[in-house]
Structure 1
Amino acid sequence: MSTAGGFKYAAFISYSRAADGRLAPALQTALQRFGKSWLQRRALRVFRDDANLSANPALWSSIQTALEESAFFVLLASPESARSPWVVREVEHWLASRGPDSLLVAVTDGDLQWDSFTGQFDPTMTNCLPAVLHGAFPDEPRWVDLRAFRAQEQVSTRAPLFRDRVADLAAPLHGRDKDDLIGEDLRQFRRGRRWAIAAVASLAALTVVAAGASVVAVQRAAEAIEQRTEAKRQRDDAVYHRVLAEADHLLTSDASLAAQLDLVAHRMRSDDATYSRLVAAGAGPLSVPLAGHTAAVVSVAFSPDGRTLASSGLESTVRLWQIPATTGPVTSEESSITGHKGRVTTAFSPDGRYLATGDSAGLVRLWTRSSNRWEAAGEPIQAHDGVVGVVAFSPAGPVLASAGTDGTVRLWDVADPARLRQVGAPLTGHEGRVLAVAFDPKGTVLASAGEDGVVRFWNVSDPARSALLAVTPVGHEAAIGSLAYAPDGRTVASAGNDGDVRLWNVADAAHPIAGRVLNGHNGSITAVAYSPDGRIVATAGYDRDIRLWNVTDPSRAIPLGKPLTGHSNVVTDLAFSPDGHRLASSSQDRMVRLWTVPYLTGHADTVLAAAFSPASGLLATASADTTIRLWSLTDPDRPAVVGGPLTGHQEAVNAIAFTADGRVLVSGGDDGTFILWNLADPSSPVPFAAPVPAHDGVSNLVLRPDGRVLATAGADQRIQLWDVADPAHPQPVGAPLAGHTAPVRGLAFSPDGRVLASSGNSPDNSVRLWDVADPRQGRAIGGPLTGHANTVSWVAFSPDGRVLSSVGTDQAVRLWAVADPAHATASGEPGFGHTNEVYTVAYHPDGHTVATAGQDGTIRLWHTADHSLAPLGEPLPADAAGGTAFATYANDAVLVSAGADRVVRLWPMRAADAIRRICESTAELTAEQWRQYVGVEVPYTPPCD
């Protein structure tokens, strides 16, 4: 057997597993056997991924190698393969490296139409080819029609029609005429049959011999079982790596579906790689698609209690969804609201008793809930000449605003829902359609916007005498399709078709001031929404992405994480749930998606440190914005803000620590002081005393495990110990610990409190150990521990105190054996993986894992078994632009990280918790998706069962 041109394979079969999972293996077998002699195993070698690809983590590189080793490319063309990213990638690679001459097309489904005028396939009539092939052929190629065989449960490779079609493909592979090849195949088949008859005649004579060979047969049977087992293992390995590759590919288009595939891979093989992927997915924003609409969805609105979501669109219907308070499936209510014409928009009243709708006929209606049904509260009113584009309730009283394509805004008295009446004259002045309205939180100002690209502000404190307050001094360069007020009423966000979101300072609504412009979308922006706490703005538009922005300080708004992906068409509307934990989105793809929003926001600058108290369940975070914030992690899935920010420092707060009982918090900052806080009432913390001067900038501080001794360090290269047994009267203890030759960065007490570790900036670059068993007589233990090539940023003791870990700007993670501090030595080889400075290192409470965080914006997990380092899975993508300032374990279940993007992230460190979050926040993988992304080799098993 040989292959033309010295290629390993005569052909490479590219296909969709979901569409042609049965036909492709049959075609491979037929091509390999066509024209073979009875002595040959096969006439040619044909590559098909599942048959030829062994376990290999680098899936694409293996496929690329197979492509380069193949003489021809056989495309099983179908609508599914045309959409398959893997098939498209294989076709693109073949065209780039080999061109179209050796590419053969076999159509298994769909339509194919050549346009002789343009000299290419007609894209309007062809749905089974990847777009890259439409104009790839210089002349109309001959293609083979296999559509008759796709639906067959089992394709007979000797069926005359199938053999004829196979011969069309086999002829160029053999470099022979089709008729000659068919004749040769028939001769070989007849010769094989004659030999088979002769073999049967000889069988009787061999019976005695066969009896004597029974032992050999048993041995061969055992070998066959072993071979089948190995084949299954290799198949499972190939499927496992394919699933991971599909999940990677989906991350940028549908992260929630990618999370389901990560879970499939984890069910197949519970290893470090799938564990870290589950942790990453479980910590991120995920979505559940709500299906039911039959046309584009244009509006979503939450009820004030967050238990009902209304969605509406172009199908004249409002659908209502029951939203669970914490966890559980989202369900459609028994009844939907019908009777509208065309496009429908919705809004809930502030008390949740009524739902307002507006439609394409210009009608506005109020609906009220009765048992499980929504009923009309009265007759509809003809509100506008043309489409009602938006409706909004005033938060201050029984007033509803509506706006439409007639260019007007109208106010309605809804005190009597059965008899709506217009209040005052229509608000006019916009040029063209009015597309958006929004009330300020007090209900005294109404903002409106539309096709003219400006925002108008109206005084509606007396709706009967509404008056224009102001028009934005500069406008968007195109229509404004959405408006949203910040909950404090001081900022308005406007979303425009020019691709910008503008934040307007409206502290004085009569004089709006242009503020920060948020850009990042590709195309028109159709929706903008504020979170209930006002710290996050969500935007969406034509690029199908949803972007989140940290607007805690509107003048310094920055992107928050990566875009939320999942919709397959324009995103039309956004709405946060009242508790801020969920975000609803609607789209022209006829879907509503319900997203989790897992970020803790509130700081207006880089978050520099965090500390957790197991005793109280409180998480404290410190920031360059000079504040400290408290959060309750009693339920890590729904963290809650506790009280307001702790203020007292004049500059950035660099370090914080809790006492063991959680009743005292200590903080230190660039202002050179530390403060001890009384947390007897966590909702109203107060300082025990005035800030205590300590250094020329407190770079770090740690409490001894018993909470009675505090160590502080700073730019003066010294470490000071303090007696804080009485938090109201802290006193320095002993002389400063001196030895570092540069500012001190890292500090850590050993678990027994007898040893203090410290590390220094460049050019010191060392780790030092101090005997502090008697704080009054602190002294150095041994010499400095050297090995880092630059600043040593952080140090941490293992829970048993026998190992110290250090990290630094040299990107290294190092372990030190410190069971005998006087003879501390390096333990194992340093760990590398970060691509920039490593800021912090923290031990998991079990002591078997450390987490490191760095300027590259990632968190890495490391095994520390046997006091040596080994990477644990893949890096966790913290997505913190400017770096992840720290990562620290709150407990054995939660890792906390934060950084330059000013948000705090919680990572589920138990696989079971990550799986639960994924299953609660995404849709179950369907059987069809299983066939498409996993394949037909492994039986469908819903990963969340």
Structure 2
Amino acid sequence: LSANGRAWRTWDVATHRATGSGRVPAGTVTEAGASAHVLGVTEGDGGLRLWNTATRRWSAPELHDVGDIHFTGDGRSLLTTEGDRVRLRSVADGRSTFAARAPDAALTAVSSDGRTAAACSATGVHLWNTADSRPLQGTWRQDPGVCDTDTSVLALSGDRLAVATANGTGLRVWDTATGRRVADLQDTGAQSASFSPDGAFVATADGSELRVWRLTDPGAPVFRHALNNQHLYGGLDWDRDGRTLRYLESGTVHTLDLGAAVTHDWRSTALNDVGFSPDGRTYATTERTGDRYLFRLYDTSDGRLLHTFPAVPVPVSTDPALPTVPADTLPLMAFGPDGTRFAYGVSAPGREAVAQPFGVWDVRHGRSLATLDLPGAAVVSLALGPGGAHTLHAVRTSSIGQLADETWDFAHGRRTSVLTGVTGSHLAVSPDGGLLVGEGRIARLPSGRSTGRDLVQGDEIGALAFTADGSAVAVGDQTGRVHLWDGAVRHRTGILRNVFPAPVGTTPEGVAALAFSPDGRTLAVAGDAGSLQLWDVGTQQPLSSGPLTTPGEAVTSLAFSPDGGTLFAGSAHVPLQRYTVDPERARTRVCARTGNAELTRAQWRTYVPDAPYRRIC
């Protein structure tokens, strides 16, 4: 709805079509109900009247001494502040259906169905069931100072309440049915907030950014959108589908597809680990139940389960005085450089193990190749050689923290070498098996001769990845930068600057996963707070103005499909995420969203000024 004095017009946001227009007999249009069927009109004396655009008549008597006005989502009622009281009135005739004292109420809110009303004042938050005027009790009453005149956010859904705390610590969310607080969000500057239709997410906005938070995992936002000095009018509005968010800015409606950020594939229980094969054909998961781990293999093309391995028990400590704690054990798995081999097992860092078996699986033929028992010091990292070799690298840590990499011939069950220099929690083997890269050192195989390399300029490594042909290697660090090296790891060829969004909090986002496209021209970079980027390796420039949309948690593994047209990403709660990165398929999807509408030449000059005009759809 747009209004200019007494004149109003309505628009269909999806089709961009004007759907209605008219005038009101007197006053100024200041509010709109659902679908703009009823308008709130403020008159010169400060009174409020309701105008029905369908019947073109006033639908209720004039209201006086009115403060805040909120229409319910169904358009049947509106909540007002009138003097020292809050009232819920029928839109049809203005009749009061609920009233309660709320002196000095700085903010008010009403649920979409009108069943719950809220008021925020210096004495705290007050909630009522509007059907029987019964005050609702909850832990929000235990914090009377949660809101005052400086509070800028009070949001209410069917069973969710959000308040921006007066002390500036963030946004607090309560379940109105149980009365318990369900989340504290580190969103100190929120100026507006809105819950998703199912109450699982809340969207917030301040002067610089729009953010979406998952209430069951509120540590970091699952979606971020820079506002670039835009000023929001009317707050944030969710579509009924729960994945589309809109806001109004300077006469323009902006529509955001939240996509993977609000995916329904989110698992309630996190997996312990997720890993993709370098060829993108297979992915593996592991989860602990009690004192056992289950490892599974899946097909990335359709998510089909390929194999469930026998449950692997946690290792038994050799020292009865230091028993193994299942929650402190470490599941390990690794694919070979060509994706045809898979190794898996479980260790107990800080313990000497009676037995520590690791299995090696032939992915292509679906059969076991070997089981290798490595009793003693805990294994903290695994790496496999290429398919033609029978090489397993296992980094061990002693009880005093010393690391050593053992190389095993798993086909014959014998150790072939010990490398004391190439160690750490991140290992990568070149596609030809001739190079092993670890934390700050590289080893030439099979000789085992190692050389020191400061791969990330003194920072801690977060991820390693080779190109499919072994001509280059990427190393990500915990500051968010990626260092590019030649395939022999002799010369640094570039550094990709950190373009992860500024963190919400104080901890910078580190690189958690890397993957090259099959042709080596594109590098996918994922962060431990859920950011996902694509980079052009040749120009060392990002391929988009911002990150891809993810479920918002650490992305622990990445891989491209064999044709390079799809990027797969995995995280603890959403193990398989797909992103179309093929330009032609992306063009088709964009054109479908716009109804195959072409940009005009004027629009092209505005949005694509650095390229000559051409028809896209």
User: Which residue matches 1:840?
Assistant: 513
Contact 2:568 2:576 in 1 (8 A): yes
Which amino acid is 2:272 matched to? V
Which residue of the other structure, out of 95, 117, 131, is the alignment partner of 1:447? 117
Match of 1:553 in 2: 216
Tell me by how many angstroms 1:904 deviates: 10
Whole-angstrom CA distance in 2 between matches of 1:486 and 1:684? 38
Distance 1:498 1:315 in 2: 39
Aligned residue for 2:425? none
Q: Please list the CA deviations of residues 11-35 of structure 1 after superposition, one character each: whole Å capped at 9, or x if unmatched.
A: xxxxxxxxxxxxxxxxxxxxxxxxx
Tell me, in whole angstroms, the C-alpha distance in 2 between the residues paired with 1:854 and 1:394: 38
CA distance in 2, matches of 1:319, 1:410: 29
Match of 1:700 in 2: 333
Paired position in structure 1 for 2:20: 335
> Which residue number corresponds to residue 147 of structure 2?
476
Deviations 1:256-315 (A, max 9, x none): xxxxxxxxxxxxxxxxxxxxxxxxxxxxxxxxxxxxxxxxxxxxxxxxxxxxxxx35664
Length, aligned pairs only: 533
Post-superposition Cα deviations, 1:43-94, rounded to whole Å, max 9, x if no partner, equal: xxxxxxxxxxxxxxxxxxxxxxxxxxxxxxxxxxxxxxxxxxxxxxxxxxxx
Which of 291, 294, 299 pairs up with 1:674? 294
Aligned to 2:226, which of 551, 558, 564? 564
Segments of 5+ residues of structure 2 without an aligned counterpart are 316-328, 418-444, 499-507
1:580 aligns with 2:242: yes
| Candidates 567, 585, 593, aligned match of 2:253 | 593
Residue 11 of structure 2 corresponds to residue 321 of structure 1: yes
1:169-202 C-alpha deviation (Å, 9 max, x unpaired): xxxxxxxxxxxxxxxxxxxxxxxxxxxxxxxxxx
Find the aligned partners of 2:389 and 2:611 in 1 and give their Cα distance: 58
Which residue of structure 2 lines up, in the alignment, with residue 654 of structure 1?
273
Partner of 1:92: none
Q: CA deviation at 1:733?
A: 2.8
Q: Within the alignment, does 1:384 sit opposite 2:6 as a pair?
A: no
In the TM superposition, what whole-angstrom CA distance separates every residue of 1:336-363 from its partner, at most 9, and x where no partner exists?
Answer: 3542732432343xxx8x8444332422
- Aligned equivalents of 1:508 and 1:855: distance in 2? 34
Aligned amino acid, residue 674 of structure 1: L
**Within 1, Cα distance between the matches of 2:184 and 2:390?**
50
- Secondary structure of the residue aligned to 1:600 is helix
Q: Does 1:359 align with 2:27?
A: no
How much has 1:548 moved relative to structure 2? 0.7
SS at match of 2:344: strand
Tell me, yes or no, if structure 1 residue 711 matches structure 2 residue 344: yes
Q: Percent identity?
A: 14
SS at match of 2:204: strand
What is the correspondence of 1:41-52 to structure 2 with a 5 Å cutoff? Answer: none
Contact 1:547 1:562 in 2 (8 A): yes
What is the correspondence of 1:161-560 to structure 2 with a 5 Å cutoff? 311-312=1-2, 315-316=5-6, 319-324=9-14, 330-336=15-21, 338-339=23-24, 341-348=27-34, 355-360=37-42, 361-365=47-51, 375-376=54-55, 379-382=58-61, 384-387=63-66, 389-393=68-72, 400-404=77-81, 406-412=83-89, 420=93, 422=95, 424=97, 426-432=98-104, 435-439=107-111, 445-449=115-119, 454-460=124-130, 463=131, 465-470=132-137, 472-473=140-141, 474=144, 475-478=146-149, 482-485=153-156, 489=159, 491-495=160-164, 502-508=171-177, 511=179, 516=184, 518-521=186-189, 526-540=191-205, 544-553=207-216, 556-559=218-221
SS in 2 for 1:321: strand
Q: TM-score under structure 2 normalisation? A: 0.64
Given residue 321 of structure 1, which amino acid in structure 2 is its aligned partner?
W
In structure 1, how many angstroms separate the alpha carbons of the residues matched to 2:605 and 2:304? 52
Q: Distance in 2 between matches of 1:683 and 1:885?
A: 18
Q: Which amino acid aligns with 1:342?
A: T
Structure 1: gaps of 5 or more residues = 1-310, 325-329, 368-374, 603-639, 818-824, 864-869
Deviates further, 887-896 or 497-506: 497-506
CA offset at residue 458 of structure 1?
Answer: 1.0
Going from structure 1 to structure 2, the CA distance change for 1:527 and 1:679 (only over 3 Å counts) comes to: same
Q: Do the aligned partners of 2:8 and 2:29 also contact (CA within 8 Å) in 1?
A: no
Give the residue type in structure 1 aligned to 2:30.
Answer: V
Q: Which has the higher helix share?
A: 1
Q: Partners of 1:674 and 1:809 in 2: how far apart? A: 30
Equivalent residue in structure 2 for 1:873, among 525, 530, 541: 541
For residue 116 of structure 2, what is the amino acid of its counterpart?
A: L
Contact 2:175–2:182 (8 Å) recurs in 1 = no
CA distance in 1: counterparts of 2:375 and 2:543, whole angstroms = 37
Matches within 5 A, 1:92-103: none
CA contact (8 A) 1:452 1:478 kept: yes
2-side partners of 1:663 and 1:932: how far apart?
Answer: 39
CA shift, 1:536, in A, is 3.7
Higher RCO (CA-CA < 8 Å; seq separation 6+): 1
Task: Please report how far the alpha carbon of residue 529 of structure 1 lies from its aligned counterpart in structure 2 after TM superposition.
Answer: 0.8
Check the 8 A contact 1:704/1:710 in 2, yes or no: no
2:193 maps to a residue whose letter is V
Distance 2:494 2:568 in 1: 22
Cα deviation 1:795-828 (Å, max 9, x = unaligned): 545445x5684636597757686xxxxxxx6575
Q: How does 1:849-864 map to 2 (within 5 A)?
A: 849-853=522-526, 861=535, 863=537
**Could you tell me how far 1:446 is from its partner in structure 2?**
0.9
Partners in 2 of 1:526 and 1:923 — Cα distance? 36
CA 1:706/1:861 → structure 2, altered by over 3 Å: closer, same or farther? closer
Other structure's SS at 2:267 match:
strand
Measure, in 2, the Cα distance between the counterparts of 1:691 and 1:483: 49
Larger Rg: 1
Give the structure 1 partner of residue 267 of structure 2: 645
Matched residue, 1:782? 446
AA aligned opposite 1:333:
A
Q: Deviations over 1:315-351 (max 9, x none)?
A: 4555433244xxxxx4132313542732432343xxx
**Quick check: which one's strand share is greater?**
2
CA apart distance, 1:405: 5.0
Q: What is the TM-score normalised by the length of structure 1?
A: 0.45
Contact 1:677/1:685 (8 A) holds in 2: yes
The one-letter amino acid paired with 2:234 is T
Cα distance change, pair 726–377 in 1 and its aligned pair in 2 (3 A): farther
Given residue 370 of structure 2, which amino acid in structure 1 is its aligned partner?
Answer: V
SS at match of 2:247: strand
1:742 positional shift: 8.0
Give the letter aligned to residue 295 of structure 2: I
